[in-house]
Amino acid sequence: MTQIQRFASRLAFGASALAFITTTASAGEITWWTPNFNEARARELLTRFQTEHPDVTVNLEITTTNGLPERILTTLQSGAAPDLIDVQHPWVNNYAQNGLVIPLDDVLEAREDYNEAALDYVTWDDQLWGIPYRIEAIAVLYNRGHFAAAGLDPDSPPKTWDELLTTARTLTEAGHSGFAITGGGEVGNTIFRSLPFVWMNGGDLLSEDGTTAVINSPEAVEAVKFWTDMYVEHGVSPTSTLENDGTANRRLFIADQVSMYQSGQFDIASIQTENPNIDIGAMMTPHPEGGEPAAILGGWSWVVPTTAENPEDAKTLIRWLAQPENMGFFTDTFPARTSAMELPRFDDPMLQVFGEMLPYGRPLPTHPQYAQMAQAYFDGIQRILIGEQTAQEAMDLAAEDIQALLDQ
């Protein structure tokens, strides 16, 4: 947090402190921001929480997904923050590095029960800045009907890259787009779908010590080429690839245009309601011969802002919410605690593959300039997809941009 911001928040805080004493927050009152898709479950949990903790009153404020990062940043920077906010894992490190949230090491119970990659995500400077509650990883959804119609066995989906490509081509010849990749929308869509391919091939965005850009290494370029060639070379990804994000691919899948695409379990319900005729299958993300799958771990954490008025009660609420049965109830996808996975709601064959992907989940880099690096990489991918550059040229340029950010 900059001095001016600190000064500003104090100024603002001091000016309205009087008003606060009379109007809001006596001790025991906290405000919790949670996204709209969590609302129903949050309200149910809170009813139970209030009976166990009658001394703490929780005001729930519902946030919307559109504009969420802007709204949270505005409130964090201006010193008018709530006591508890639900945020996506990759945001936590930036908040921590800018002094906008407080460490939560004293809140975490049963550390070994948590997914390790999820904890890595929210760790910075050897401290824990958020409590992960929800995790997920992307795998591949496919249309079993298309497999059967093209003479492929729906029960043995491709496991390796070679098999993936052959299968995608066969499906494309049968009249659909065999394997849809993304090339548009938010940067994250393409990062989550392409970077694991780089990882599986032994490449990475940055060197292990985080000082050098290595996205133009032969392994990385080979992986990027393999992934983008789905569109550029083989045409097994739809012609609209450059304007499609994960949601657009799901819609093409629902419209029976796409046979395989990368997605999380969150798409399954939509597909089932909008086109019940599709027999959905799920497979682990195919890996290079002799390698193993990889994924970026996604999901959500709780954070407590530096300017929270009542951090202690916020911590009490987090401790309660993080109990395995509460966390398991609250999460939209999977819980961050292994023991919570035992709950009956996760015992669903459709979810099995996505659960098996979790151990292969890795966090994104936590460099302060990561967002700009991701943009540089994504710009490179788009240059390949519009045919402006080869994979090598595009990744050389991306590495140059990323290196400039590292050297700043």
Would you say 160 or 372 has its CB closer to another protein?
372
Least distance (Å) from another protein to the CB of residue 291?
29
C-beta closer to another protein: residue 158 or 298: 298
Distance CA 200, CA 295 (A): 9
Token pair for 213: 């850009």
Helix/strand/coil percentages in the chain, nearest 5: 50, 15, 35
**CA 339, 356, 330, 68 torsion-angle sign:** positive
Nearest approach in angstroms of CB 204 to another protein is 20
Q: Closer to another protein at the Cβ: 88 or 201?
A: 88
Q: How far is the CB of 52 from another protein (least distance, A)?
A: 27
Helix (H, G, I), strand (E, B) or coil at 109: coil
Other CB atoms within a 10 A radius of the CB of residue 340 amount to 24
Cα 214-137-232 angle, rounded to 5 deg: 55
What residues does 185 pair with on adjacent strands? none
What's the CA gap between 227 and 300, in Å, rounded? 27
d(CA 54, CA 319) in angstroms, rounded, equals 16
Q: Measured from the CB of residue 211, what is the shortest distance to another protein in angstroms?
A: 18
Minimum CB separation of residue 269 from another protein in Å reads 9
In the complex, least distance from residue 236 CB atom to another protein, rounded to whole angstroms? 15
Least distance CB 381 / another protein (angstroms)? 9
Comparison of 169 and 251: residue with beta carbon closer to another protein = 251
Q: How far is it, in rounded angstroms, from Cα 86 to Cα 102? A: 14
Q: Which is nearer to another protein, 3 or 26 (CB)?
A: 3
Between 62 and 108, whose beta carbon lies closer to another protein?
62
Per-residue exposure over 106-132, b if at least 16 CB sit within 10 Å of its own CB, e if not: ebbeeeeebbebbbbbbbbeeebbbbb
In this complex, which beta carbon is closest to another protein, that of residue 266 or of residue 320?
266
Strand-pairing partners, residue 334, are 135
